[in-house]
Amino acid sequence: MSHDVVSPVDETVIASVDEMGEAKVDDAIARAARAHGAWAAIAPGDRARLLARAAEAVDAAREELAHLEVRNAGHTISNARFEAGNVRDVLAYFAGSPERHFGRQIPVAGGIDVTFREPLGVVGIIVPWNFPMPIASWGFAPALAAGNCVVLKPAELTPLTAMRIAALCHEAGIPEDVFQVLTGPGSTVGWRFVTHETVRKICFTGSTAVGKRIMAGCADQVKRLTLELGGKSANIVFADADLERAAATAPTSVFDNAGQDCCARSRLLIERSAYDRFMELLEPAVSAFRVKDPSSEDAQMGPLISAEQRRTVEGFVPEDAPVAFRGRAPDPPGYWYPPTVLAPVQPGDRVAREEIFGPVLAVIPFEDEADAIRIANDTPYGLSGSIWTNDLGRAIRVSRAVESGTLSVNSHSSVRYWTPFGGFKQSGLGRELGPDALEGFSEVKNVFISTAP
Ligand code: NAP
Ligand code: MG
């Protein structure tokens, strides 16, 4: 069986990929398990060198990978270049890990006590379609660095870059059975990772609904699990902030990648006293947002990923929705949807509560700091968010009070590979990236050695 891959830019079929069934998946997992002993036994410096070579191979193919993602996912060429560079950087960063994956020596009576960080074995990584390249690398690079073998399932809509990156890693010397990309539906390939006893950990990014099902499935084998799920992040703008900068950057914070970003600041909380001024500044920034052929060098936003995703987004903006203003988008073919600002929105409205995963911003006025914090936290999610203020004390107070894993002050940066990334509440479980990422891909083993004569 095979599956057609369609470009969201012009709705044409660009590739056909294998749709693996359970037998093929089981075969791949068995090969990974057989390869594990030798991979785990490689000297740390040699494993580091292989990851560094993989980083170089990705670097050399950056332009090719970027253009592939423009076609397959409709990402703008500038974003796609950044994403391919991110894979290189994540590989290079974790190439530093095998030689620094320290255990401890703990003082005890009667001998010495040391800890080792042992690899888990075979790790299953399940990747969504919104950022196919970076999200794959945030899983496979630290997993390989810690001495695991990886089976990785890309989303059915966007498998092409993951397949190419795996081939580049193999050319760089990482054995084929150590890192395998398996294509096919989530309910078959992804679910088999959950039920197969040899897969010791799942690293899942995607919807909260599927994440919950995977968590329940993992319970059966007490399988290790990292979840990166949905978000409904707040961009909180206080009246004392640099309103020009806050308004100029707000569109990118929610419309980047057509809003298909778990960190999208899809709720804009604005202090009521600055509401009118802020909306005056926001309108030209939204109408100037360049939605066009994503292969254009100056495109800021491309189409949505699929017709289904466009229907979902449209469902959030019915005829009587409070549309304050919208940007422009090209006509079909392509799954286009214009940047849309809804205002004012009440905190209890559906558009203020549910993840839309499209270019729709809900603007919510607030009265004071306490009100802002209350509204920001009034959601089951807690992934990201931004705080705009020139009051340092307030910036710190609000950063500590917002229940969210990744916050930025007077900026919208969120995922930096040097720092931990993950969610509070129903946005996820565990942390990826940063200095401690390998803890999620290894077990601590304690060994006591008697010195008794
Ligand atoms: P999804 O269904 O959660 O898919 C994410 C990944 O999980 C895909 O690789 C998918 O495979 C796989 N999968 C699906 N069902 C599975 C199962 N039963 N067992 C194991 N793996 C399974 O997300 P989606 O359908 O692509 O998107 C739906 C909504 O999820 C979006 O509108 C958005 O709200 C949210 N979302 C969030 C993120 C995020 O980064 N937090 C990312 C993507 C989507 P296939 O695609 O191949 O079936
Ligand atoms: Mg799905």
pLDDT in tens, 439-450: 999 999 999 999
β-strand pairing of 199-205 with 122-126:
parallel
Provide the pLDDT confidence category of residue 233 given band limits of 50, 70 and 90. Answer: very high
Q: What is the pLDDT of residue 278?
A: 98
Measured in whole angstroms, the distance separating CA 52 from the mean position of its chain's CA atoms is 22
CATH class of 2-229+427-450: alpha beta
Q: What is the pLDDT of residues 47-81, one digit of tens each?
A: 999 999 999 999 999 999 999 999 999 999 999 99
Mean pLDDT, residues 203-223 taken together: 97
What's the chain's length in residues? 453
26: phi then psi, degrees, rounded to nearest 5: -60, -40
CA distance 148 to 442: 8
Q: Is the pTM of this model over 0.95?
A: yes
Counting ligands in written order, the one closest to the CA of 203 is 1
The domain ranges of the chain are: 2-229+427-450, 234-416
CATH of domain 234-416: 3.40.309.10
Nearest CA to ligand 1 atom 14: 186
Atom of ligand 1 nearest to the CA of 213: 18
Span 106-114, mean pLDDT? 98
| 207 within ligand 1 shell (Cβ under 6 A) | yes
DSSP letter, residue 187: I
Query: What is the arithmetic mean of pLDDT over 423-448?
Result: 97
Q: Coil, strand, or helix at residue 252?
A: helix
In this structure, which residue's CA is closest to atom 29 in ligand 1? 207
For residues 417-446, give the mean pLDDT.
97
Measured CA to CA, the distance from residue 425 to residue 422 in angstroms comes to: 10
The rounded Å distance from CA 207 to ligand 1 centre is: 5
Residue to mutate, 17, 25, 129, 210, ligand 1, most ligand atoms under 8 Å from C-beta? 210
The answer on pLDDT for 414 being more than 80 is: no
Distance set, CA 338 to CA 249, 258, 323 (Å): 17, 9, 12
CB of 269 within 6 A of ligand 1: the answer is no
Number of the ligand closest to the Cα of 209 = 1
Q: Could you tell me which of 345, 260, 342, 351 has the C-alpha nearest to residue 303?
A: 260
Contacts of 43 by beta carbon, 8 Å cutoff, 6+ apart? none
Active site residues: 228, 262
